[in-house]
Amino acid sequence: MNTNSFQRRHIGPNKKEQEKMLATIKANNLEQLIDETVPNNILLKKPLDLEPAMSEYQYLAHIKALSEKNKVFKSYIGLGYNEAIVPSVIQRNILENPGWYTAYTPYQAEIAQGRLEALLNYQTMICDLTGMELANASLLDESTAAAEAMALLYDVRERAKKKAGANKFFVSDEILPQTLSLLQTRSTPIGIELVVGNHEDFNFGDEFFGAILQYPGKFGQIFDYEKFVAKANDNNIKIAVAADILSLVQLKAPGEFGASVVVGTTQRFGIPLGYGGPHAAYFATKEAYKRSIPGRIIGVTKDTDGKRALRMALQTREQHIKRERATSNICTAQVLLAVMAGMYAVYHGKDGLEFIANNVHNHTKSLANTLENLGFKQLNAAYFDTILIEVEAEKLRTVAEAKSINFNYVDANHVSISINETIDSTSLRAIISCFEEAFNIENKKIAETTEILPKNVQRNTSFLENEVFNTYQSETDMMRYIKKLERKDLALNHSMISLGSCTMKLNAASEMLPLSNPQWGNIHPFVPLNQAEGYQEILKNLEHQLNIITGFAGTSLQPNSGAQGEFAGLMTIRAYHQSNNDAHRNICLIPASAHGTNPASAVMAGMKVVVTKTDERGNIDVEDLREKAILHKDNLAALMVTYPSTHGVFESAIQEITQLIHDNGGQVYMDGANMNAQVGLTNPATIGADVCHLNLHKTFAIPHGGGGPGVGPICVAPQLVPFLPSNPIIKTGGESPISAISAAPWGSALVCLISYGYITMLGAKGLTDSTKMAILNANYIKERLGEHYSTLYTGEKGRAAHEMIIDCRDFKQNGIEVVDIAKRLMDYGFHSPTVSFPVGGTMMIEPTESESIAELDRFCDAMISIREEIKNATKEDANNPLKNAPHTQEMLTSDDWQLPYSRKQAAFPLEYIADNKFWPTVRRVDDAFGDRNLICSCNPIEDYM
């Protein structure tokens, strides 16, 4: 065995196992399987033109050498990003722990109680600090959260406002520049008119439905917004506030002065800068808006025994239910980062956060007073951590950069300086020395501090009084608390997670290790490019690799989720049509089988959705598509298509379909959710697409992190390259770029290292072999389950792609629903495949290339055993192992056992389970109770006394 081969470590089945699997599916070799699966006319004619694969050892040396090209300065730039200290206990036990980073979105609540509790802590922290009633479990970044706030306020306009056509949204000129750019991107397609100006001059006209304020302002000034918000509310204008999370420890909570929505980022609560992300944004609002809030909410409910249990609340708001009526296309959160930020608050508690905030604020005051004593004018009347200095900027910059220090150079005569948690007397002295040296001023001592916050903006409400924030302040206690929660969650370090459409493959340790290196972690996204040469080299290389893999001409890494990628792709198509004087093209054709984010994204991009039919085999109905493309040819903007299809099939008519769209003036957007079946075999350019997004958190090995982070870059054909998105501070994108899609220039740059490592260590052959093995593994499962479950859709030669759908609808005659199978799988030690998507009453199974034959067989044995249990179930008697699943340890060890089957049948139905038993910690959760009694934060401390 070649121990230097990363491919050998990444791909589960070895050569002997592959031969056994091929024999099982009646294929002579892998080539035959691929020929029977992928249409011949779209197969690539030559291998991917990528650099030879590196070994893990070579790659780690390579990535270290690249990291040393980055210059890690002390950055006091601010603008929504501040260096933070990641507590080591959180870094080691969460960020670097596959028990946390490989878990899936907690749709199966009974085996996700640990991260659900961590997210409930996060939501409680946000509600406490913002003074709001309800918070979600995170969004993508502060700027996209602000755009979601605008969309929510537009959606919840009162009847009179809607009737009057109120469509103006006021944006304070204190807003962060990247947030303004995002608001511009999101407002125009849906008919919202932005009005940017000074909030003190705002006229509160009837044509306005909402406004957004920055708190503190972009250069640090703290305004008292109370009267502004009161007057706005009197005029039915609802206010969103973008607030710095650490400042809220000292400043009056926006909920206290009447805000309707509060957004921001929790990056400075122990999350690395990472050249822009990933970071968990927060979104808090009033309970009255719970049906319109974007993203996910964690709620408290009870299980079958009446015990407290947690779950994702209000799940019917998801896009696959509302589709084009959804108010947001968000389907990803930043769970791993939200967990870390929540744990930062748990570890430090209220007293610790107050100490950190006081330290930051006092050092800022010392700096301001010292600089004023040196003769410089400080312009902010009230501030928390950021001061604005009148100074000759270029003179200061030369000296500061020579000392490895970054400030924010506002213009030729103004510099802002944002102080962060890492500040101490030495680093403060270094900042002051920049001014002394640049302007040849005699050294003076650091000045005393004075009170700078007016009483009416100071915080006057308590926060973090709950027991969880007052218990784990020692590292021993914190380590055990994190482990306690981890034990409640099933992740990839326990067993296969065979989720169709989600591609839960190996997230290799060598891909993950660089994330802990401060040479990657401590780079501010707005540093000069010459300080980020290592990042620039990797990002350019990754863009090139993705161009080769997709067959396209250009890539933008900016979108920081798959849904953002969808939106970005459609916005480039929109810009392309506008450049051709075809702005009227606004019809988007979407097959009925498409993922629910597709129609939501199309509406956000200002398009009208026309749904096309699928045939009895689950393929696009070409004749129906032809009819609708011709009908709308004068206004056709795009087709959104997933390939292979959402039903797990390579449709042979795909080139005919894409040509049909082009013939009628449209562009083709390909959803990249199923790229794990394409890489190295075919590509979006070959099938005739013009743009695709890629889920780096699926095909390209970024771990799901319990529901995020994700990265959704777009790759585009030559005609769309000019329109790739830019950033208002660091230029990115094409020659005629659309405005920003995400806050940071390269989105969640830090985790792009993972995908770069994945591609670099696999190389062309490894990538292609991975795709082939994903297809082999899926067809092996299909064959093994064939006598027990019917596969809903297959290709023309009877093969599945990298995933397959089993039909469970007939089991209703035994009183069994597909959800019962999902819950019963927990007793067998497995997370359920995807339930009831894209077809109700089915399961979509995707094993990936990373799983060995032993694990595939365990899963198949579990499914076959469950099928036998279904045979013995009846509609009349619901007291069976499926309906009672999952079975907890508490049930099994109870003196009382009244069930008509044995304890062994309940918990150890197959022999392998005893060797590695996973115990769900709650019984089946009551979803309806949780929605009727919505509780989305921790109980107050009085409940524990």
| Span 648-681, pLDDT tens digits | 889 999 999 999 999 999 999 999 999 999 999 9
- Confidence at 935, pLDDT banded by 50, 70, 90: confident
Return the number of other C-beta atoms located less than 10 Å from residue 808's C-beta.
26
Could you count the other beta carbons within 10 Å of the beta carbon of residue 346? 27
Question: What integer pLDDT is reported at residue 592 of this predicted model?
Answer: 85
- H/E element, 354: helix 335-373
pLDDT of residue 304 exceeding 70, the answer is yes
- CA neighbor of 232 nearest in space, from 207, 210, 262: 210
pLDDT higher than threshold 50 for residue 460? yes
**Which residues neighbour 189 within 8 Å (Cβ) at sequence distance 6 or greater?**
571, 574, 604, 605, 606, 607
Q: Which two three-digit tokens encode residue 490? A: 């099933």
For residue 814 the two structure tokens come to 């035994």
Q: What is the pLDDT of residue 942?
A: 43
Q: What is the rounded distance in angstroms from the CA atom of residue 843 to the CA atom of residue 705? A: 23
Q: How long is the chain?
A: 945
Report the distance separating Cα 446 and Cα 369, nearest Å: 8
Q: What is the pLDDT of residue 316?
A: 46
Q: 404 is written with which tokens?
A: 């490895």
Residue 327, pLDDT score: 58
Phi and psi torsions of 235, nearest 5°: -105, 20
Residues 752, 753, 755, 761: what is their CA dihedral angle, to the nearest 10 degrees? 160
Residue 301 has pLDDT above 80, yes or no: yes
Q: What is the DSSP letter of 53?
A: P
pLDDT at 329 exceeding the cut of 90: no
**pLDDT at 196 (0 to 100):** 98
- Is pLDDT of 383 > 90? yes
The two tokens of residue 935 are 């509780």
Q: For residue 333, count other CB atoms closer than 10 A to its CB.
A: 31
What is the dihedral sign for C-alpha 113, 331, 137, 420? positive
Q: Tell me how far the alpha carbon of residue 417 is from its chain's centroid.
A: 30
Q: How far apart are CA 653 and CA 618, in angstroms?
A: 13
Q: What is the mean pLDDT of residues 215-242?
A: 97
Place of tokens 């009646």: 26
Structure tokens at 340: 């870390």
Rounded CA gap, 7 and 506, in Å? Answer: 11
The DSSP bridge pattern shows strands 691-694 and 667-672 to be parallel
- DSSP strands (E only) in 354-463: 377-378, 386-390, 405-406, 408-411, 414-418
**Per-position b or e across 373-392, b if 16+ CB within 10 A of its CB:** ebebebebebbbbbbbbebe
Q: In terms of DSSP bridges, do strands 714-716 and 554-556 run parallel, antiparallel, or are they unpaired?
A: antiparallel
pLDDT surpassing 70 at residue 941: no
CA-based torsion, 854, 855, 861, 865: positive or negative: positive
C-beta of residue 834 within 8 angstroms of C-beta of residue 871: no
pLDDT digits (tens, 9 = 90+) for 682-715: 999 999 999 999 999 999 999 999 999 999 999 9
What pLDDT was estimated at residue 944? 32
**Nearest-CA neighbor of 726 among 572, 544, 553?**
572
User: What type of residue is 53?
Assistant: A
Distance CA 129, CA 342 (A): 12
What is the rounded average pLDDT for all residues in the chain?
95
Mean pLDDT over residues 235-247, rounded? 97
- Give the separation between CA 66 and CA 474, rounded to whole angstroms: 37
What tens digit of pLDDT does each residue of 10-69 get? Answer: 999 999 999 999 999 999 999 999 999 999 999 999 999 999 999 999 999 999 999 999
Q: Within 13 Å of residue 682, how many CA atoms lie on the same side as its CB?
A: 27
**Cβ proximity of 718 and 523 under 8 Å:** no
pLDDT band at 373 (very low <50, low <70, confident <90, very high): very high
Residue with tokens 């770069």: 756
Return d(Cα 888, Cα 890) in angstroms, integer: 5
Q: Other C-beta atoms within 10 Å of 705: how many?
A: 30
Q: For residue 328, what pLDDT band results from cuts at 50, 70 and 90?
A: low
**Are 388 and 414 spatial neighbours (Cβ–Cβ below 8 Å)?**
yes
- The arithmetic mean of pLDDT across residues 593-616, rounded, is 88
At residue 374, the 3 state secondary structure works out as coil
- 10 Å CB burial of residue 727 (0-12, 13-18, 19+) is buried
Do strands 608-612 and 587-591 pair parallel, antiparallel, or not at all (unpaired)? parallel
Mean of pLDDT values over 865-886: 96
> What's residue 78's pLDDT?
98
Q: What is residue 566's predicted lDDT score, i.e. its pLDDT?
A: 95
pLDDT score for 430: 97
Residue 774 CB contacts under 8 Å (≥ 6 apart), including other chains: 676, 677, 802, 846, 847, 848, 849
Cis bond before residue 278 (omega within 30° of 0): yes
Quote the CA–CA distance of 922 and 888 in Å, as a whole number: 6
Strand, coil or helix: 134: strand
Instruction: Decide if pLDDT at 647 tops 80.
Output: yes
Average pLDDT over residues 471-499: 97
pLDDT at residue 943, as a whole number: 44
**Beta-sheet strand order (sheet of 386-390):** 377-378, 386-390, 414-418, 408-411
Q: What is the pLDDT of residue 928?
A: 83
Rg over CA atoms, the chain: 28
818-846: burial string, b at 16+ Cβ within 10 Å, e else = bbbbbbbbbbbbbbbbbbbbbbebbbbbb
Find, among 93, 862, 851, the residue nearest to 494 by Cα: 851
* Cα–Cα distance for residue pair 591/767, rounded to 1 Å: 29
Quote the Cα angle for 487-491-493, to 5°. 95
Question: Hey, is 8 helix, strand or coil?
Answer: helix
The per-residue pLDDT for 548 is 98
Q: Which of 167, 236, 235 is closest to 207 using CA atoms?
A: 167
- pLDDT of res. 319: 43
Report yes or no on whether pTM surpasses 0.85: yes
Q: What percent of the chain has pLDDT over 70?
A: 97
What is the pLDDT, as a whole number, of residue 501? Answer: 87
CB 652 within 8 A of CB 797: no
Rounded distance, CA 737 to CA 724, Å?
5
Say if residues 757 and 769 touch (Cβ distance below 8 Å).
Answer: no
pLDDT of residue 600: 87
Q: How far apart are CA 52 and CA 64, in angstroms?
A: 19
Q: Given pLDDT bands bounded at 50, 70 and 90, which one contains residue 447?
A: confident
CA atoms of 72 and 691, how far apart (whole Å): 35
CB within 8 Å of 938: residues ≥ 6 apart: 120, 121, 124, 466, 467, 468
State yes or no: pLDDT of 859 exceeds 70: yes
For residue 917, the tally of other CB atoms under 10 A from its CB is: 13
Determine the Cα–Cα distance for residues 3 and 55; give it in Å rounded to an integer: 9
- Return the amino acid letter for 890: E
What whole-number percentage of the chain has pLDDT above 90?
A: 90
Task: Give the residue from 85, 119, 116, 136 showing the smallest Cα distance to 343.
Answer: 119
pLDDT confidence band for 343 (50 / 70 / 90): very high
